[in-house]
Amino acid sequence: MQETLCQQTLYTDHMEDEVDRLVAAWRRERPDLDVEPLEVLSRVSRLARHLDRARRLAFSEHQLEPWEFDVLTSLRRAGAPYQLSPGQLLTQTLVTSGTMTNRIDRLTKKGLVERLPDPSDRRGVLVRLTPEGRDRADEALAGLLAQERAILAQLSRPQRAELAALLRRLTAPFDNVPG
Amino acid sequence: MQETLCQQTLYTDHMEDEVDRLVAAWRRERPDLDVEPLEVLSRVSRLARHLDRARRLAFSEHQLEPWEFDVLTSLRRAGAPYQLSPGQLLTQTLVTSGTMTNRIDRLTKKGLVERLPDPSDRRGVLVRLTPEGRDRADEALAGLLAQERAILAQLSRPQRAELAALLRRLTAPFDNVPG
DNA sequence: GAACTATATCTTGAGATCGAGATTCATGAT
DNA sequence: ATCATGAATCTCGATCTCAAGATATAGTTC
């Protein structure tokens, strides 16, 4: 079973992508450099951009922007009463504090979240999902999962698990240190 | 050798990351949904954002922004005479045409690229790297590769190859169809 | 309990991106 | 030749993001 997995992955399906062309170009132009790192990390960056575009399309059916989705779902999965501090939202969405203030302002105007004073820390604020915000998040999530499933159909289930495990080893250092 | 690879990957090093927490939260809040796709694609998106931040830092030593690096290196690896059409730059950098026009304007002002009329198509333009642009690209690339190597040190060489192959299967459909 | 240091959030201004539409030229059919 | 269609690039306005600094409050040490 594991051998099958590896053989599949390592030896079949050599359809080229832009990164193959990019790496080949570097090897021609700069044969003195080892560009192996690009094989992984350029693919990550490019795939993320493709995903952004696809998500923007998927969400437009629900009149949601990707950034709105990110904030609303962070609150949604926090569980009832669906509230987090702006600081917690920062670590989930990986944007700066100025950006988050702006996002909360706009979502408040749209009636999808509301700001409450933090009862235990007068410096702080809590952002809470409104019932409408919760519904919008749930709808959009279902759509996103359908789209992502289609993209991942290129891989078998064990391949997806393998991929997730390899990626985790790269993300964990970022997520677990001050970063 | 392959068995070793798989065993390592599948069974060791279970340091958690934000996506593990995110997936656990969804399974608690929405046990009716299958959120397995997030294990892969949320990691891709988040890792890309971490990489963006790291790149911005690495490039600041060379007074380059990530977007400048992307354009300059696209031209650099095209080989002498280091020129491409704006359209070719679009497919490499995955931005819109308005963005690319703006980028070329700014790089021209900085003296890193220049615009030439396309001799074979009077609608078209060619963007050419200046000698200084070429040097800046080469310097920054070396720095980037060093940084990326450090990030990838979490994985063995065969694991990196495996990861690249799995990612290729996801990027290839985007890169090879109209998209 | 006063002074410091650290934390949480917000404000601001500059810059970058996007989408839609306009412009200019190429290509192919009639 | 003329027209229609399509392609390549640019223009423009709105929006989004970031970085740096400002403000207010919490802890901590003496």
Structural domain contains residue B18: no
Residue A178, CB-side half-sphere exposure with 13 Å CA sphere: 0
Nucleotide closest to A87 measured between CA and C1' = C8
CB atoms within 10 A of CB B161: 17
Name the maximum alpha-carbon separation found in chain B: 62
Tell me what pLDDT residue B10 has. 45
Whether any strand C atom is under 7 angstroms from the Cβ of B79: the reply reads no
pLDDT tens digit string along B148-157?
999 999 999 9
Average pLDDT over residues A34-41: 97
pLDDT tens digit string along A122-161?
889 999 999 999 999 999 999 999 999 999 999 999 999 9
For residues B105, B109, B113 and B114, what is the CA-based torsion angle, rounded to 10 degrees? 80
pLDDT-derived band of residue A15, with 50, 70 and 90 as boundaries? confident
**CB proximity B16 to A under 8 Å:** yes
The average confidence (pLDDT) of chain B is: 90
Residue A144, CB-side half-sphere exposure with 13 Å CA sphere: 27
Which chain B residues are closer than 8 Å to A159 by Cβ? Answer: 166
Q: Is the pLDDT of residue A71 over 80?
A: yes
Tell me what pLDDT residue B176 has. 82
d(CA B109, CA B113): 8
Task: Name the nearest CA neighbour of A154 among A25, A12, A24, A52.
Answer: A12
State the nearest Cα–Cα gap between B141 and chain A, in angstroms.
9
CB atoms within 10 A of CB A56: 13
Structural domain contains residue B124: yes
Structural domain contains residue B10: no
Structural domain contains residue B9: no
Q: Given an 8 Å threshold on Cβ–Cβ distance, is A38 in contact with B148?
A: yes
Structural domain contains residue B13: no
Structural domain contains residue A54: yes
Tell me what pLDDT residue A13 has. 61
CB atoms within 10 A of CB A48: 19
Coil, helix or strand for A94?
coil
Q: Gap from A97 CA to D18 C1', in Å? A: 9
Sign of CA dihedral B85, B111, B63, A100: negative
Tell me what pLDDT residue B3 has. 44
Average pLDDT over residues B24-35: 96
Which chain A residues are closer than 8 Å to B143 by Cβ? Answer: none
Q: Is the pLDDT of residue A6 over 90?
A: no
Q: Which two tokens stand for residue A177?
A: 């240190």
Nucleotides on chain D that have an atom closer than 7 A to a protein CB are 6-13, 16-21, 24-27
Overall number of domains in chain A: 1
pLDDT-derived band of residue B61, with 50, 70 and 90 as boundaries? confident
Q: Gap from B154 CA to D30 C1', in Å? A: 46
Q: Gap from B128 CA to C5 C1', in Å? A: 52
Scanning the structure block, which residue is given the tokens 């064990």?
A158
Structural domain contains residue A62: yes
Structural domain contains residue A16: no
pLDDT-derived band of residue B13, with 50, 70 and 90 as boundaries? low
Q: Is the pLDDT of residue B6 over 50?
A: no
Tell me what pLDDT residue A126 has. 94
Find the domain containing B41 and state its range: 34-176
Cis peptide leading into residue A178 (ω within 30°): no
For chain B, positions 39-78, list CB contacts with chain A under 8 A: 39-41, 43-53, 76-78
CB A144 within 8 A of CB A58: yes
Whether any strand C atom is under 7 angstroms from the Cβ of A104: the reply reads yes
Tell me what pLDDT residue A12 has. 52
Position with higher pLDDT, A47 vs B3: A47
pLDDT-derived band of residue B179, with 50, 70 and 90 as boundaries? low
* Burial of A98: CB neighbours in 10 Å, binned 0-12, 13-18, 19+: exposed
Distance between alpha carbon A59 and the CA centroid of its chain, in Å? 14
Q: What is the CATH number of the domain that holds A171?
A: 1.10.10.10
pLDDT-derived band of residue A106, with 50, 70 and 90 as boundaries? very high
Q: Which two tokens stand for residue A121?
A: 């820390």
